[in-house]
Structure formats: C-alpha cells, structure tokens
Chain A
Amino acid sequence: GQNIDQPTEMTATEGAIVQINCTYQTSGFNGLFWYQQHAGEAPTFLSYNVLDGLEEKGRFSSFLSRSKGYSYLLLKELQMKDSASYLCAVRANTGGFKTIFGAGTRLFVKA
C-alpha cells in the first residue's frame, strides 16, 4: 500500500530555520511535491523533487532521498506569514499515475 507520514504540528520562532520531515512508502515512485496551505485558502505549489538531493528556491529548500523514502522541507529566515500547513505529496505509478497527499504539518511561527 501507500503511506505518507509527517508530523502533525511544529512551532518555530520568527527568523529561525525549521525542517519539516516527510517519509513515504509507495511503489512506482515518480516524484514528490510540497504544497503550502494557509487556513481557509487553496494549497499552493512550493517544490518538486524527483532525483536525490537538495532543490533550493529562495528561503525554501526541499530534499529527497529515494532509497530512504524520505524528504524534508527547509524554511529559512522564518516569517510570521509562513504559519500554514505544509503538505507532502507523492506521485506514484500504480497502474496509472496518482498523487497521494499526507495529512499535512501545521507550522506555527511565533514572535
């Protein structure tokens, strides 16, 4: 079967760095996405990894290790507006391509 695990909640301080982890078990792995979702709003695309390593995009970076079934999203120089849910999603080919979402990690940024 397919399974995605991420912490339910995290709290961090403005200006700090936070790492949100995601582990997955799936067959036919075909890429991993991170989305940000503010309360009452649409999820928005942050990053995509399909090869091992780190992808950097401004204050946000995403890492993937396919052999370990592991990814993390790294947020630097945290701002209050970064308080949101962060969704890890895996695209898999299981007799057809499908994107499976984790339950999301709620990040609280405090002053």
Chain B
Amino acid sequence: ETGVTQTPRHLVMGMTNKKSLKCEQHLGHNAMYWYKQSAKKPLELMFVYNFKEQTENNSVPSRFSPECPNSSHLFLHLHTLQPEDSALYLCASSQGDRGFHSSNQPQHFGDGTRLSIL
C-alpha cells in the first residue's frame, strides 16, 4: 500500500471511446503527476500539478486531458486514442514542489492503469 490508489487497474478501449483514469492520494501531498511507462523505455512525464496548478505539460497530445479538482485527486481523461497509446499509466504524488527545498522529496507511485487500445 503506497498511499496512492489508481483505478481502474486495467482498461481496454476502442479508439473512439472516451474514458477516464482516476488517481487518489492519502498522503497529504500537494503535487501530483501523470507518467506513461512503455516497455523498455524511460518513464515519460506527462503532466504535473503543483498545489492544484498545472505546472507541466510535456508536449502531450490533446487526446489526453488532465484534471485536478483538489490536491488529493487527479484524473486523466482519454478521447480518441491511438494504438501507440497502449501503455502503463502511473500516477505519483509528492510534497508540494517549492524548488530547492523540495529536492529530497521522493515521489510515491500508484500501481498504475494498464491501458490497451484496440
């Protein structure tokens, strides 16, 4: 139990479907992250929310849309995905990023959602 819960654990969807991934953290953190993990590739940072403000959008296609209604919840809305979007999507949280003074704060990850696009 990492304190970060992601649902669903597995998702199979067609390219025309709309679905959402959910992440919830119970650690009192103020920063939340979405990562994409593909086989044998580095974790790719997608989005960062720091104190509910989006501070990073790492050139992610618009078919992925994040939402952070409060510091404990993070969503990733999916629409018209492509087969190459099939991957493990990981959510993480950490103490709010205040620059240098947050440097030693690790990220706490959820178990991820395994997404398959048909």
Contact = CB atoms under 8 A, between A and B. Distances in A.
A48 B102 CA distance: 12
B55 A103 contact: no
A4 B99 CA distance: 22
Contacts of A97: 97, 99, 102-103
B110 interface: yes
A31 B103 contact: yes
Interface stretch (A10-18, A39-47, A58-66): A39-47
A44 B108 CA distance: 7
B4 A42 contact: yes
A31 B108 CA distance: 17
* Majority SS at the chain B contact face: loop
Interface in B68-118: 90, 97, 99-100, 102-104, 106-112
A103 B103 contact: no
Interface in A32-55: 33, 35, 40-45, 48, 50
B42 interface: yes
Contacts of A100: 42, 45
A98 B45 contact: yes
Interface of A: 4, 8, 30-31, 33, 35, 40-45, 48, 50, 87, 89, 91, 93, 96-104
20 contacts: A31-B104, A42-B110, A42-B112, A43-B109, A44-B2, A45-B107, A45-B108, A48-B104, A50-B103, A87-B43, A97-B97, A97-B99, A97-B102, A97-B103, A98-B56, A100-B45, A101-B35, A102-B42, A103-B41, A103-B42
Interface of B: 2, 4, 35, 40-43, 45, 55-56, 90, 97, 99-100, 102-104, 106-112
